[in-house]
Structure 1
């Protein structure tokens, strides 16, 4: 018997049973798809019921929480009205509070204080109060609203013994959202019925059927059991499969129906494909048997030749693929035996290369880690130096002022000047650290407005001149008006940092040239100095954080090395870029900032600072730190303020009621009751609502400022407060 005939007989013995079992599988598939379609309808009904139960449970939870309201217990119905409006569990829903006689006390759909109607079924209120059990009503018609609604109601008893019934009202559209959208298949319809069989919501023709009682046969079917499936003729004489289930919490019924023809169409949709696949499989099996017999003989002959060549020590370069797993395994064995030596050589070479690459990578990583560790140690040492220097000066100045009898007025004034300069220096160090941290974390927020860059530059230069920092330099400003869309405060930071570097790294008597010019659609700010310059090896890294030029132990120039990093981040946030140029050490440097120019806009005018208040003002200070409270009280008294102080939130409320201050400086980080809660409490009481509140805190981010304004503060200052800010607040 030939090998080809053997394969053909084997193919027939496989194909005939496959055809028989394929027909059986096709019939089973139809039944399975039909059952799956009906099961999908039942599952959709169950999921819709769970969604409705979840909405009702949420409403019951909200009502129970409102029942424990302190405002309701105290009889403050106006405040309870606001709480109820905010706590409504449904978009577009409303909350109604009934007294024990069924009279509406509060209705969040109506203005507080208007006359409200009495409930038409006060006996339901009495029943709920007697049984202490809530209820979910059926659909009702609102005469005032001219619309249908349902209620979730709960009885409540306040601490004072008063009894109420509180309810959450829902419109039919709220529950319709459970089955609206693209998830509902074409032709399916969903209905929600109350316990009496009246339609609450419907997926189609809702305006026609909401409020209508379903047919008696349908009502009888759903009342027999909790859930089930039945088939009936719809109003359009089409056969429909309906699956229904009942809500656990409300007793409502959810019915989801699908046309029988749609289900059958889905069942038969896959039959032609499966039948065609079966025919193709049969034909393919026969063809494969014929081809396999032909190719098998050729393969065996080629494999024999390859084996003989391999046995003689030759190399088998290529073998025809067989397409049969077992035969291909023989091919693979022959190729593996032929290529084993070369594969082994390549493997050894690759392993050697990989090992060398890993060694280089390990050395690089170790060097980088050592550099980072050294940079960390250097920064910590630098930070300790920068903090200890001003602290040492402050401690010495305080010691001098403590010996007031032995110190003349001039020496005391110099000590005070040292205190002022060093505290300003400490504030700048802390501000720089916080600003660069927020910048690196992407938390900086800009308050942009059209501003004249030239005017901002001139303002910064004037401030430096007034402080005496530029006394040893020749400062030349060459600028033209150029409007940019920028945050003026952040822009001042950029310019101040660049000028600070120019002053810090320039010898006395040098020149600092500042220019503002328009270049096409951009504006260029240039700061050029004749100072120490930048070494070529340091120039590519000047914008890296904590990078400075080499300094001696004396650290004549100081600083943390974060100024230029902050400058670059702020400029990038404005949509611009910055570069530093230098011809080398001792040849000065030039910093250039490029920003997009804003054409056709008038720069925003700087707000005029208010003059310090001259009259006696009643001021309350709330601060839990005793030393800070005492010093701030003395500072306010020096500014003609009548000061009362408190160390906690409750003490501050009592003090405010007794003293009636005009102004209150409040710390945010208070124990127990924080500053935000204190501000809200003061603003909610009409006796203290007129007090102007000012936040004085160590929390200085934009988010903290926003929280302060939202809580009722008029201003937000970070500690320690600058004297000009204090005078502005008192003005």
Structure 2
């Protein structure tokens, strides 16, 4: 055999293993590329479906807002219809909004009220009955509205009062509304993407298609799994690879079809390149085979050596990898993985810093709260010890009682401020706007503080010009009280605090100026943020928890106003300005007069499991002339109520075994006790707590600690109610 033959055999011996390895590598690369295509397509669909779910959730939120109308709860359908028409005009995605009963019977049609005479039930009754049955939002499928002669989808939410579903609100959504998330995919020419309802009907599709139903291949894939990747014909019959995903929220599905030639194009190109390389290598001699072997093996070895570094986010050095397309593709994928690892590490570091910052803020707030509560508690403890040591007539005893009263009010205000912030942040703040003179409110607050001695160390002046606003008077007074409290805390003794009320073209203005340390420039942007305070040092002479000015800002904004802070510089004081929209003054002003308070002795049953509070309150009521009986729990209270003639029962809601709500219901259910006046005295002070108390049968709802005058007023009101006429409880 000639040497040429040996060289040829040697070349074949070298090339054939390389050819086999290259074929194996090509197959793996093709598989990897298809998996990458599939995963990328599914991730894109997840993002798009999340956007669609968010769109639907937005419509549900709008429906919940419409369903919370007071007019709907009171059965005023005419007022509800007017509001529904207004809301419909503000929702570009809605073609109609209808109100139905739980069985789908129409109650109101915002677009076509006259259609109620011709059409008794909504087209998609299944949405209404499902929302009523599950007491949760329900999303329908593509239907045609008879009154609009248009196709769309219904989104429904139950309208509940208590535990009962009274109505179902349905919004009829335009299919075009859901094109936006699909179009934002920016799919390549020749690709298709469509959104499908739970019955296989197109809601939106790019490109548009006259056919309503999806193809059998896509529908079969959707039925098999909530998400996946398959090869099959599109609705037009084109061979494609299709990714699909079904939303667990709407039960709708979305698909993305990519022509098969695009998915397989790179793989085919790779195969032809490898085949040509093998044939070319067979035509060459040993050196060419060796060179080709090195050309393929060296980049692969480089990838294998660099792969462990991906776990730490180390990118590959691309030099020397550009010569082989497959290796370059793998290198790019590994580099992307390295970038993802680095981003994940950076995200974890940011989250760690955020958690540390949250822990620090929590610790600071707990320390601040502890300091603010320990001060009044220390004063209360010292005052109670002093009362034990001296005669009640001794001047020190009077001083101790004043300390207890003052510190109790201070502690109650700390708790109330925290509750106010909580209610406002959660959107549960309750306002009672009225037409009021801002100057009168400011004068009342200043006079009250002056009478109580709060200004004894400062010179406080008031310049008030009449200006009328529509606002909640108690909240306006709270705004001024917080501003005054802030000014007095930070102003030195003997300094002047100016309060000014006037109006201009911009509206009504309430201004408080002090001569304190002023506001540093870096504090002015954050002075109204929650829990933000100026530097006070370890002694914390100024006190506070950093929520007073935050309440001022939020209360002003809730009433259409605004607040601003200004300071000429360090040690030159600060000026806080609150503005409200002004309204014309009324033609006549009514001056109310308060009659002297006369206490009528009552027969009172006091039920509370806190022995100290119950006995103290019983003693206070007895000193006012009332005849008081006590019970430490609900069962004992019910027994006393059944065996004695009573005018009023004051009941704590958080009683052991039988709570206060159940006590009220049982008293109302018994003929001998059904006419007793009931006052709830509790630490639960949310609007929902008050509503539950009134529903249980209480006439009044008061929160602890209670003002004696407010308690006496509640007792008088509860005792004077005519239960034969079932007069409504006070709100």
Q: TM-score, normalised by structure 1?
A: 0.52
Q: Within 2, Cα distance between the matches of 1:438 and 1:427?
A: 16
Tell me, yes or no, if the aligned pair for 2:439 and 2:464 is still in contact at 8 Å. yes
Report the CA distance between 1:414 and its aligned residue. 0.7
Q: Within 2, Cα distance between the matches of 1:358 and 1:322?
A: 29
Answer yes or no: is 1:420 the counterpart of 2:361.
no
Answer yes or no: is 1:534 the counterpart of 2:475.
no
Q: CA deviation digits over 1:557-585, x for unaligned, max 9?
A: 11111111222222222122222222333
Matches within 5 A, 1:297-312: none
Partner of 2:697: 712
Q: CA deviation digits over 1:62-102, x for unaligned, max 9?
A: xxxxxxxxxxxxxxxxxxxxxxxxxxxxxxxxxxxxxxxxx
Give the RMSD, CA atoms, in angstroms: 3.9
Matches within 5 A, 1:551-590: 551-590=536-575
Report the CA distance between 1:697 and its aligned residue. 0.9
What secondary structure sits across from 2:428 in the alignment? coil
Tell me, yes or no, if the aligned pair for 2:390 and 2:396 is still in contact at 8 Å. no
What secondary structure sits across from 2:371 in the alignment? helix
Partner of 1:244: none
Tell me, yes or no, if the aligned pair for 1:612 and 1:730 is still in contact at 8 Å. no
Partner of 1:403: 389
Q: Within 2, Cα distance between the matches of 1:183 and 1:434?
A: 44
Partner of 2:201: none
Specify every segment of 5 or more residues in structure 2 that has no aligned partner in the other structure, as ranges. Answer: 1-117, 127-209, 216-261, 275-320, 717-731
Answer yes or no: is 1:628 the counterpart of 2:613.
yes
Report the CA distance between 1:502 and its aligned residue. 0.8
Tell me, yes or no, if the aligned pair for 1:449 and 1:604 is still in contact at 8 Å. no
What secondary structure sits across from 1:659 in the alignment? coil
Answer yes or no: is 1:613 the counterpart of 2:598.
yes
Residues 522 and 360 (structure 1 numbering): CA distance in 2 closer, same or farther, change over 3 Å?
farther
Tell me, yes or no, if the aligned pair for 2:518 and 2:572 is still in contact at 8 Å. yes
Specify every segment of 5 or more residues in structure 1 that has no aligned partner in the other structure, as ranges. Answer: 1-176, 186-268, 275-320
Answer yes or no: is 1:182 the counterpart of 2:167.
no
Tell me, yes or no, if the aligned pair for 1:610 and 1:728 is still in contact at 8 Å. no
Tell me, yes or no, if the aligned pair for 1:665 and 1:695 is still in contact at 8 Å. yes
Residues 179 and 703 (structure 1 numbering): CA distance in 2 closer, same or farther, change over 3 Å?
closer
Report the CA distance between 1:410 and its aligned residue. 0.5
Answer yes or no: is 1:371 the counterpart of 2:371.
no
Report the CA distance between 1:339 and its aligned residue. 7.1
Report the CA distance between 1:648 and its aligned residue. 2.9
Matches within 5 A, 1:342-381: 365-381=351-367
Q: Within 2, Cα distance between the matches of 1:412 and 1:711?
A: 42
Tell me, yes or no, if the aligned pair for 2:661 and 2:693 is still in contact at 8 Å. yes
Q: Within 2, Cα distance between the matches of 1:451 and 1:322?
A: 72
What secondary structure sits across from 2:463 in the alignment? strand
Q: CA deviation digits over 1:470-522, x for unaligned, max 9?
A: 12222222222222222222222212111110111111111111222223353
Q: Within 2, Cα distance between the matches of 1:394 and 1:349?
A: 67
Q: CA deviation digits over 1:443-480, x for unaligned, max 9?
A: 21222222222222111111111111112222222222
- Of residues 369, 374, 395 in structure 2, which corresponds to 1:388? 374
Partner of 1:119: none
Answer yes or no: is 1:676 the counterpart of 2:617.
no
Partner of 2:206: none
Q: Within 1, Cα distance between the matches of 2:593 and 2:273?
A: 88
Residues 649 and 362 (structure 1 numbering): CA distance in 2 closer, same or farther, change over 3 Å?
closer
Tell me, yes or no, if the aligned pair for 1:613 and 1:727 is still in contact at 8 Å. no
What secondary structure sits across from 2:713 in the alignment? helix
What secondary structure sits across from 2:456 in the alignment? coil
Residues 325 and 652 (structure 1 numbering): CA distance in 2 closer, same or farther, change over 3 Å?
same
Q: TM-score, normalised by structure 2?
A: 0.52
Larger Rg: 1
Q: Within 1, Cα distance between the matches of 2:588 and 2:552?
A: 22
Partner of 1:224: none
Report the CA distance between 1:436 and its aligned residue. 1.2
Report the CA distance between 1:714 and its aligned residue. 2.7
Report the CA distance between 1:723 and its aligned residue. 2.4
- Of residues 651, 659, 681 in structure 2, which corresponds to 1:666? 651
